Amino acid sequence: MLPVDNHVHSQWSFDTDGQGSMAATCERALELGLPAVAFTEHVEWTDWLADDAIAAGPLTLDWWEKIRPLDVTGYLADIEQCRERYKPLRVLSGVEAGEPHLFGASIAGLLSTGPFDRVLGSLHALPHKDHLVGAEQLFYLLDDGEDEVMRRYFAELVRMIEGPGQFEVLAHLDYPRRYWPSGPAAYDEAVFEEEYRAVLRALATSGRVLEMNTKSPLASVSLLRWWREEGGRAVSFGSDAHRPWLVGGRFDLAVDIVEAAGFRAGEDPLDFWLR
């Protein structure tokens, strides 16, 4: 059986431009034979609370003009409807919380309006010269090379994991890799082994789960083995689909990679895969 898709966006995420129908996504998931999907809608912030870590610094929040608050009531009503309508598919609720270390209090407030079955933590934007800046922008803004973008990203990711924000699963751990410039040097995980291991060690110490993100270039078997070696116990699969037809994308390949690294499906299909 295919794993649960624990990272899917619907029309309730501000960056799907009204085209991420939750109902159509459930229909596609049933067709594929997925046991469950989690609608982990984007939560990013254009303001902060006094208790958020970001309040202590001079950062400006102007990095993504699309950001809108999540309509939790409307979203949860839609989840309920899909649960009724698309049995035996299990429909899980969730959020993808951006920069949780900077917005710990805001995220805690949002989660209290739940229930949310899955909480992903994501680093999409980094502090740079008094601004929060989209990670992909750093390839243009930093003049000390693309390797430096990845190193800055991994260092911030460790701060995120060790920070105060609540989340269970680390989403797309090498997110800027999606935007790696085409040129003579292809992206090579091995160049960043030390940085990956530092992130994975911090993640394992915190007892969290690593995501196999199938929208990003797929992680290698070696990378999943580093996760085991650093103490990691659990893997979550996520298509990061923003359109219905992308749910469960490349899960066949992802399953082969995760199995080759020594992780197996749990007893309950809703479980994360365990070593």
Residue 122 makes contact with Zn ion by CB under 5 A:
yes
Given the rule CB under 5 A, which of 18-26, 62-70, 89-97, 195-203 is the region that contacts Zn ion?
Answer: 89-97
Using DSSP, state whether 203 is helix, strand or coil. helix
d(CA 61, CA 116): 26
C-beta separation of 243 from 22 below 8 A: no
- Taking the complex as a whole, how short is the minimal distance between the CB of residue 124 and Zn ion, in angstroms? 6
- Taking the complex as a whole, how short is the minimal distance between the CB of residue 165 and Zn ion, in angstroms? 14
- Taking the complex as a whole, how short is the minimal distance between the CB of residue 9 and Zn ion, in angstroms? 6
Residue 6 makes contact with Zn ion by CB under 5 A:
no
- Taking the complex as a whole, how short is the minimal distance between the CB of residue 50 and Zn ion, in angstroms? 27
User: How many H helices and E strands in the chain?
Assistant: 8, 10
- Taking the complex as a whole, how short is the minimal distance between the CB of residue 221 and Zn ion, in angstroms? 23
Residue 10 makes contact with Zn ion by CB under 5 A:
no
Q: 95: which 2 tokens?
A: 């959020």
Given the rule CB under 5 A, which of 17-25, 31-39, 82-90, 240-248 is the region that contacts Zn ion?
Answer: 240-248
> What Rg value do the Cα atoms of the chain yield, rounded?
18
C-beta separation of 168 from 209 below 8 A: yes
| Residue 52 or 240 having the CB closest to Zn ion | 240
The DSSP element (H or E) to which 161 belongs, if any, is: helix 146-162
| Residue 5 or 195 having the CB closest to Zn ion | 5
| Residue 106 or 216 having the CB closest to Zn ion | 216
| Residue 69 or 231 having the CB closest to Zn ion | 69
Residue with tokens 């040129």: 183
d(CA 3, CA 145): 38
| Residue 158 or 274 having the CB closest to Zn ion | 158
133 strand-pairing partners? 126
Q: With CB under 5 A, what is the number of residues at the site for Zn ion?
A: 3
Q: 74: which 2 tokens?
A: 């409307």
Given the rule CB under 5 A, which of 76-84, 117-125, 193-201, 244-252 is the region that contacts Zn ion?
Answer: 117-125
The strand pair at 169-170 and 209-213 is best described as: parallel
| Residue 97 or 258 having the CB closest to Zn ion | 97
94 strand-pairing partners? 40, 118
Residue 240 makes contact with Zn ion by CB under 5 A:
yes
Given the rule CB under 5 A, which of 82-90, 116-124, 147-155, 260-268 is the region that contacts Zn ion?
Answer: 116-124
DSSP 42: E
Using CB under 5 A, list all residues that contact Zn ion: 96, 122, 240
